[in-house]
């Protein structure tokens, strides 16, 4: 299920992403803040599995609690937890399936399956096939460093989720424009693109500059020069054969009109990340001066056009020579819904990125958790010390994930878990919960896959958090000083104290 | 004043209203002892490898989960004047030896506790103080006899690592193997030939995410910041990467004096921008011609400058910390230039490679160096608190290495040294003719109490373990202490030097000395006078004098 959270600014967020929820909750309890931390860490390292890491950490603690109450020293428990973690990781390594990287078709299908598994737990689960293809396409377009900021996600309200499209190139919303803009052509094939960091507007050359003139003629000359400086820049661009001018800074009406007269397209105030993406896709450089424009520093693409998407107009650059970037134009109804979709896609993208970097996968849907649980339980039987019980308890904690899956799907968890335990005891490595049929199934053949890294990181983070919580025997809190952080307790209201209603 | 309020005669009549005054054994000495014992009692559960952590929330709401006594005390902001004395002594321990803060604090606490009983018996504080000082002198001499061995070569990792491991063990038990290896490698790699070891040369870079096992050592410097321009890495085919370091912004300098650019003709206006561009291009071109492939700026990298840096394929990085900039200058052998000029060949630094790596979801720029002057321990962990605590453990380990380079001798750890000293001191006390006898035997008791605490923290019965150790020592065996097995987590009485548990002599020496001194100082106070806090702004919370 999803949670609806209203934060201190009365902004509503709908999410089932652990990290997002915990971030919004403003947890103050010192021990509970560790949980928020591990969710963040999972988000940073893997990008998905934030919910499972938190519930796993809690379950570790819950299972260990009876032992502590019976007087087992926390250090012994910590030791067992570390040992159990190591065992689980070794087992994970042992059974994870490596996928050959040389066959592109196989790699692609692997990535799609991982993305599908990640999306399964999200709001957009019923469109998971559609989105998993989209996400994999998006990631495949990137270069080997796979920088996340090279995938842009744009949200346009309206339309259906299926109207979401992937632009293999750059897309951004039409920027604010002046008169004359509508006279400019909106479609070019193979244009030269100049990316600028220059204000194309009549402006002071320098803020603290001053002009002192002695005669009217000189004054007129100064005025003309100001215009000429602007025209010179435009002429340089025009002479270099530039058809499209994009700038981070404003492009004024004079320049807009000038461009319109000469069959050029211009857009000012382009957001910086969009400009950088355009640069990655189309090549060229971002110019802070127009001196030294050459073909090498100008970008190009096969097709530029402006299209209407929903209520907004978008500038699309497609067929870029170095398509190391792409943009997902997300469509959907409510704003919150689209935000959640964006987060889900982010998670899926991260999973696919990780899967591309590390090629070993395990079966999801509780299969790997049951297998680890089984392995730990078997192992605990061979231990003679106190650790036998503790590792056994840890084994039980791993069952939580399939149990929670069943509970959330409305299945009888006890029944399904019994079956699962039996299947794993009979050596069925990848038996997991089958969400569709309320049963157990071999999730590996059912293609519910996730990268082994996700699981490994979740286990490590959960156990580190549990260990640090167990190792604390005393909490000391100093009174908060009032002078250093006056705004800590009262959130800053909008309107800067002018009493704007919020 | 018309209405004079008569005040009680005596001490208070001569002080301003609001002053406080405590005197005598009950009011001053015992109270002080009680306060100190309470404080050291709190940190005593942190002692040893299996001690427990504390969560400390300081006055700005920052969380610390640690068992590093120095950190706990610092964030606690102790206000009691006598307890503060102990805090100061543990701080001094940190500065002198870099480790053993908890030992120092605990020992001082136990010394005071033991002193209380003799004071109640009727000895005067001065007699106790002189007895303790005598005991300290004896203990220091005995400590010399306890030396197990010494590190003959501080570059030999096989010799250094066990000692670092013991230092780290008391902070991060379970992770100590991994950390000790990292720290020893880092320290040895930056030890200059025939020079002094500088703790500043081992850097720590913390990146959230992953597991502690993912921590690694990087030769060179790591900056948690992405490169400014389009160039993200410089890997030369051969030779080295030249680095120019500027302490100033790489941009046009602003004048301090208020001024305006005065233009008188239209031509001047027209040429103004062109001129600016020309100057900047000339500047960057001359940098490129001098061979610089990387430019590090202490401030902003101006847009025009960045444009030309990109044009000439130079990597630009902004380092906002002056200290980091200086370290980078040391690491690369560059001279940080205060103005944007072209560095000469001597002023230009160099390194093997400059690359951008993605660690977790953070991009870091790494200045790699094959034989480096600075190395960085890249720490990974899943929570911020753990990262901070790991950093403290690394600091302690590095400090231990520094102490090692100063005095390579070591004694056995695990409470063995303390137990042996206690037995010897108790025997020596009996030979003492004067009243000091009591104090010396109390000193021995305090040392025993340290061993007992260690045993209790290791889930053993304190009294039982102590008697076992004493029995073994009496049977003529040596180096008997408490050994905590990292594999099984069980602790037992054993010969610790065989198991490789050793502490640095220097740390023990300082801990004994400082603990004894601070205990004596607290004991010799018989009167506390606190004047009324001055007017003006209200002091902030207890302590209130920290400036972080």
Contacts of A359 (CB under 8 A, 6+ apart): A98, A99, A101, A107, A110
What is d(CA B87, CA B70) in angstroms, rounded to the nearest whole number?
A: 8
CB-CB under 8 Å, B50 with A75: yes
Per-residue burial over B314-333, b if 16 or more Cβ lie within 10 Å, else e, is bbbbbbeeeebbbbbbbbbb
pLDDT number for residue A388: 86
What is d(CA A76, CA B458) in angstroms, rounded to the nearest whole number?
A: 10
Does residue A349 form part of some domain?
A: no
A386 shares its domain with A244: no
CATH of the domain at A451: 1.10.560.10
Return the residue in B269, B310, B388 with the most chain A beta carbons within 10 A, the one to mutate for interface testing.
Answer: B269
CB-CB under 8 Å, A41 with B52: no
Burial of B463 (0-12, 13-18, 19+ CB in 10 A): exposed
Return the residue in A78, A149, A194, A472 with the most chain B beta carbons within 10 A, the one to mutate for interface testing.
Answer: A472
A387 shares its domain with A285: no
CB-CB under 8 Å, A471 with B65: yes
Which residue in B55, B262, B488 is closest to A472 by CB distance? B55
What superfamily does domain B13-149+411-530 belong to in CATH? GroEL-like equatorial domain (1.10.560.10)
Q: How many CB pairs under 8 A join A and B?
A: 203
Which residue in B213, B269, B541 is closest to A478 by CB distance? B541
CB-CB under 8 Å, B489 with A75: yes
Return the residue in B55, B206, B316, B546 with the most chain A beta carbons within 10 A, the one to mutate for interface testing.
Answer: B55
Q: Which residue of A has its CA nearest to B74?
A: A478
- Specify the number of domains making up chain A: 2
A289 shares its domain with A217: yes
Q: Determine the structural domain holding residue A366 and report its residue range.
A: 3-99+362-471
pLDDT, tens only, A411-430: 888 888 888 889 888 888 88
Spatial CA neighbour of A7 closest among A20, A25, A19, A22: A25
Query: How many Cβ atoms from other residues are within 10 Å of residue A295's Cβ?
Result: 10
pLDDT, tens only, B183-206: 888 888 888 777 788 888 888 888
pLDDT number for residue B516: 92
Which residue in B56, B208, B277 is closest to A44 by CB distance? B208
CB-CB under 8 Å, B55 with A474: yes
CB-CB under 8 Å, B386 with A285: no
CB-CB under 8 Å, B381 with A464: yes
CB-CB under 8 Å, A226 with B382: no
Structure tokens at A94: 């042992």
Structure tokens at B156: 């030999």
pLDDT, tens only, B81-122: 888 888 889 888 888 887 888 889 999 999 999 988 888 888
CA distance, residue A79 to nearest chain B CA (Å):
6
Which residue in A213, A288, A472 is closest to B52 by CB distance? A472
For chain B, how big is the Rg over CA atoms in Å?
30
Q: Which residue of A has its CA nearest to B42?
A: A474
pLDDT number for residue A43: 80
Return the residue in A28, A30, A88 with the most chain B beta carbons within 10 A, the one to mutate for interface testing.
Answer: A30
A282 shares its domain with A388: no
Q: For chain B, what is the mean pLDDT?
A: 83
Does residue A416 form part of some domain?
A: yes
Query: How many Cβ atoms from other residues are within 10 Å of residue B408's Cβ?
Result: 19
Q: Which residue of B has its CA nearest to A83?
A: B487
What is d(CA B187, CA B400) in angstroms, rounded to the nearest whole number?
A: 10
Does residue A121 form part of some domain?
A: no
- Residue numbers in A near B42 (CB within 8 A): 474
Does residue A138 form part of some domain?
A: no
Q: Three-state DSSP class for B36?
A: helix
What phi, psi does B542 have (nearest 5°)?
-70, 145
Q: Which residue of A has its CA nearest to B261?
A: A209
- Residue numbers in B near A460 (CB within 8 A): 210-211, 213, 382
pLDDT, tens only, B488-522: 667 788 888 788 888 888 888 999 999 999 999 98
DSSP label at residue A56: H
pLDDT at B164 exceeding the cut of 70 = yes
pLDDT at B307 exceeding the cut of 80 = yes
- Residue numbers in B near A464 (CB within 8 A): 211-212, 381-383, 386
- Residue numbers in A near B58 (CB within 8 A): 478
Does residue A62 form part of some domain?
A: yes
CB-CB under 8 Å, A478 with B77: yes
Per-residue burial over B494-523, b if 16 or more Cβ lie within 10 Å, else e, is bbbbebebbbbbbbbbbbbbbbbbbbbbbb
- Residue numbers in A near B270 (CB within 8 A): 225, 228-229
- Residue numbers in A near B277 (CB within 8 A): 289, 291
A318 shares its domain with A372: no
Q: Which residue of A has its CA nearest to B361?
A: A44
Q: Which residue of A has its CA nearest to B48?
A: A75
Which residue in A33, A44, A206 is closest to B209 by CB distance? A44
CB-CB under 8 Å, B55 with A483: no
Which residue in B76, B304, B383 is closest to A464 by CB distance? B383
- Residue numbers in B near A485 (CB within 8 A): 60-61
Q: What is the ipTM of this complex?
A: 0.76
Does residue A455 form part of some domain?
A: yes
CB-CB under 8 Å, A206 with B53: no
Question: What architecture (CATH level 2) is domain B219-254+267-372?
Answer: 3-Layer(bba) Sandwich (3.50)
CB-CB under 8 Å, A285 with B211: no
Does residue A113 form part of some domain?
A: no
A180 shares its domain with A64: no
A219 shares its domain with A308: yes
The domain locations on chain B are 13-149+411-530, 219-254+267-372
Q: Which residue of B has its CA nearest to A43?
A: B209
Does residue A461 form part of some domain?
A: yes
- Residue numbers in B near A222 (CB within 8 A): 263, 265-266, 269
pLDDT, tens only, B460-497: 888 888 888 888 888 888 888 888 777 666 778 888 87
What is d(CA B137, CA B215) in angstroms, rounded to the nearest whole number?
A: 44
- Residue numbers in A near B459 (CB within 8 A): 73, 75-76
A413 shares its domain with A463: yes
CA distance, residue B10 to nearest chain A CA (Å):
37
DSSP label at residue A200: B
CA distance, residue A153 to nearest chain B CA (Å):
18
Which residue in A212, A218, A460 is closest to B382 by CB distance? A460
CB-CB under 8 Å, B55 with A476: yes
Beta strands in B360-488 (DSSP E): 362-368, 375-381, 409-412, 480-484
pLDDT number for residue B514: 92
Return the residue in A473, A482, A489 with the most chain B beta carbons within 10 A, the one to mutate for interface testing.
Answer: A473
CB-CB under 8 Å, A472 with B53: yes
CB-CB under 8 Å, A480 with B60: yes
pLDDT number for residue B535: 62
Beta strands in B77-198 (DSSP E): 149-150
pTM value is 0.80
CB-CB under 8 Å, A34 with B54: no
pLDDT at B357 exceeding the cut of 60 = yes
Q: Which residue of B has its CA nearest to A47?
A: B361
A367 shares its domain with A317: no
What is d(CA B225, CA B187) in angstroms, rounded to the nearest whole number?
A: 25
- Residue numbers in B near A72 (CB within 8 A): none
CATH of the domain at A311: 3.50.7.10
pLDDT at B539 exceeding the cut of 70 = no
CA distance, residue B348 to nearest chain A CA (Å):
27
- Residue numbers in B near A287 (CB within 8 A): 307
Sign of the dihedral through C-alpha B325, B326, B328, B332? positive
CB-CB under 8 Å, B174 with A82: yes
Measured in whole angstroms, how far is the alpha carbon of residue A474 from the centre of its chain?
37
Per-residue pLDDT of chain A (502 residues; tens, 9 = 90+): 777 878 777 877 777 777 777 777 777 777 788 888 888 888 877 777 788 888 888 899 999 999 889 888 888 888 888 889 988 989 988 888 887 777 777 778 888 888 888 887 777 777 888 888 888 888 887 776 667 777 888 888 877 777 888 887 788 888 888 877 888 888 888 888 888 888 888 777 777 777 888 888 888 888 888 888 888 888 888 888 888 888 888 888 888 888 888 888 888 888 888 888 888 888 888 888 877 777 778 888 888 888 888 778 888 888 877 767 788 888 887 777 888 888 888 888 888 887 877 778 888 888 888 899 999 998 888 887 778 888 899 999 988 888 888 888 888 888 888 888 898 888 888 888 887 777 888 888 887 888 888 888 888 888 888 888 888 887 877 776 654 444 444 444 444 444 444 4
């Amino acid at each position: 299920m999803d949670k609806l959270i209203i934060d201190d600014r009365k902004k509503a967020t709908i999410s089932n992403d652990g990290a997002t929820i915990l971030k919004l909750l403003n947890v103050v309890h010192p021990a509970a803040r560790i949980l928020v931390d591990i969710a963040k860490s999972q988000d940073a390292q893997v990008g998905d599995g934030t919910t499972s890491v938190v519930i796993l950490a809690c379950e570790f603690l819950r299972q260990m609690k009876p032992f502590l109450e019976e007087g087992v020293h926390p250090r012994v428990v910590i030791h067992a937890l570390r040992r159990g973690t190591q065992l689980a990781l070794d087992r994970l390594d042992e059974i994870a399936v490596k996928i050959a990287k040389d066959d592109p078709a196989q790699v692609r299908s692997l990535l799609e399956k991982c993305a599908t598994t990640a999306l399964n737990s999200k709001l957009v689960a019923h469109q998971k096939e559609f989105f998993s293809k989209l996400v994999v396409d998006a990631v495949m377009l990137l270069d080997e460093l796979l920088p996340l900021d090279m995938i842009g996600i744009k949200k346009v309200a309206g339309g259906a989720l299926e109207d979401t499209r992937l632009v293999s190139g750059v897309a951004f919303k039409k920027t604010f424009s002046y008169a004359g803009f509508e006279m400019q052509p909106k479609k070019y094939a193979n244009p030269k693109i100049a990316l600028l960091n220059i204000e194309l507007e009549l402006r002071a050359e320098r803020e603290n500059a001053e002009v002192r003139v002695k005669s009217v003629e000189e004054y007129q000359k100064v005025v003309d020069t100001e215009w000429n400086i602007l025209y010179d820049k435009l002429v340089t661009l025009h002479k270099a054969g530039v058809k499209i001018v994009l700038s981070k800074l404003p492009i004024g009406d004079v320049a807009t009109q000038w461009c319109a007269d000469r069959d050029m397209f211009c857009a000012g105030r382009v957001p910086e990340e969009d400009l950088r993406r355009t640069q990655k896709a189309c090549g060229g450089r971002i110019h802070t001066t127009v001196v030294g424009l050459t073909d090498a520093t100008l970008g190009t693409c096969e097709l530029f056009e402006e299209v209407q998407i929903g209520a907004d107009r978008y500038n699309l650059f497609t067929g870029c020579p170095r398509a190391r970037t792409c943009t997902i134009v997300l469509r959907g109804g409510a704003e919150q819904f689209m935000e959640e979709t964006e987060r889900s896609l982010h998670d899926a993208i991260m999973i696919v990125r990780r899967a591309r970097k590390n090629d070993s996968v395990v079966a999801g849907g509780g299969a790997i958790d049951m297998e680890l649980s089984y392995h730990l339980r078997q192992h605990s039987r061979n231990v003679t010390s106190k650790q036998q019980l503790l590792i056994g308890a840890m084994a039980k904690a791993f069952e939580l994930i399939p149990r929670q899956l069943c509970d959330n799907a409305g299945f009888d968890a006890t029944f399904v878990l019994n079956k699962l335990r039996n299947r794993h005891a009979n050596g069925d490595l990848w038996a997991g919960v089958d969400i569709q049929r309320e049963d157990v199934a071999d999730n590996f053949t059912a293609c519910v896959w996730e990268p082994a890294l996700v699981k490994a990181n979740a286990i490590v983070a959960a156990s580190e958090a549990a260990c640090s919580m167990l190792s604390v025997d005393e909490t000391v809190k100093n009174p908060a000083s009032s002078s250093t952080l006056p705004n800590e307790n009262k959130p800053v209201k909008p309107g800067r104290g002018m009493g704007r209603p919020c | 004043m018309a209405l004079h309020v008569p005040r009680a005669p005596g001490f208070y009549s001569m002080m301003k209203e609001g002053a406080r005054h405590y005197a005598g054994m009950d009011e001053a000495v015992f109270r002080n002892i009680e306060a100190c014992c309470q404080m050291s009692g709190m940190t005593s559960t942190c002692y040893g490898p299996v001690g427990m952590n504390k969560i400390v929330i300081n006055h700005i709401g920052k969380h610390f989960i640690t068992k590093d006594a120095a950190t706990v005390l610092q964030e606690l902001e102790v206000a009691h004047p006598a307890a503060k004395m102990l805090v100061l002594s543990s701080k001094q321990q940190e500065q002198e030896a870099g480790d053993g803060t908890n030992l120092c604090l605990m020992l001082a606490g136990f010394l005071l506790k033991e002193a209380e009983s003799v004071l109640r018996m009727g000895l005067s504080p001065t007699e106790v103080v002189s007895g303790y000082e005598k005991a300290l002198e004896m203990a220091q001499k005995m400590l010399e006899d306890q030396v197990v061995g010494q590190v003959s070569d501080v570059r030999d990792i096989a010799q250094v690592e066990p000692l670092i491991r013991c230092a780290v063990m008391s902070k991060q038990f379970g992770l100590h193997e991994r950390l000790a290896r990292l720290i020893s490698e880092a320290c040895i790699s930056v030890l200059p030939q025939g020079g002094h070891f500088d703790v500043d040369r081992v850097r720590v870079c913390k990146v959230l995410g992953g597991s502690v096992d993912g921590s690694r050592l990087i030769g060179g410097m790591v900056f948690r910041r992405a490169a400014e321009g389009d160039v993200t890495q410089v890997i030369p085919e051969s030779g080295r990467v030249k680095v120019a370091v500027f302490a100033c912004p790489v941009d046009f300098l602003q004048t301090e004096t208020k001024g305006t650019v005065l233009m008188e003709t239209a031509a001047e206006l027209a040429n103004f921008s062109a001129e600016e561009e020309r100057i900047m291009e000339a500047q960057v071109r001359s940098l490129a011609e001098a061979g610089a492939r990387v430019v590090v700026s202490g401030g902003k990298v101006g847009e025009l400058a960045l444009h030309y840096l990109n044009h000439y394929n130079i990597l630009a990085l902004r380092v906002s910390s002056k200290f980091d900039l200086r370290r980078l200058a040391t690491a690369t052998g560059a001279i940080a230039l205060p103005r944007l000029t072209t560095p000469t060949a001597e002023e230009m630094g160099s390194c093997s490679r400059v690359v951008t790596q993605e660690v977790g979801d953070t991009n870091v720029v790494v200045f790699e160096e094959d034989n480096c002057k600075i190395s960085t321990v890249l720490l990974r962990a899943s929570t911020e608190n753990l990262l901070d605590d790991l950093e403290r453990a690394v600091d302690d380990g590095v400090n231990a290495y520094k102490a090692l380079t100063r005095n390579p001798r070591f004694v056995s750890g695990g409470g063995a040294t303390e137990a042996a000293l206690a037995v010897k001191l108790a025997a020596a006390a009996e030979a003492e003719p004067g009243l000091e006898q009591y104090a010396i035997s109390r000193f021995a008791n305090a040392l025993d109490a340290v061993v007992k605490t260690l045993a209790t923290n290791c889930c053993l019965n304190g009294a039982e373990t102590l008697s076992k150790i004493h029995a073994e020592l009496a049977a003529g065996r040596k180096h008997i202490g408490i050994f905590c097995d990292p594999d099984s987590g069980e602790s037992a009485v054993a010969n610790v030097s065989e198991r490789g548990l050793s502490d640095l002599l220097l740390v023990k020496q300082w801990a004994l000395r400082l603990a004894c001194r601070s205990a004596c100082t607290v004991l010799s106070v018989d009167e506390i006078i606190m004047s009324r806090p001055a007017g003006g702004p209200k002091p902030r919370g207890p302590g209130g004098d920290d400036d972080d």
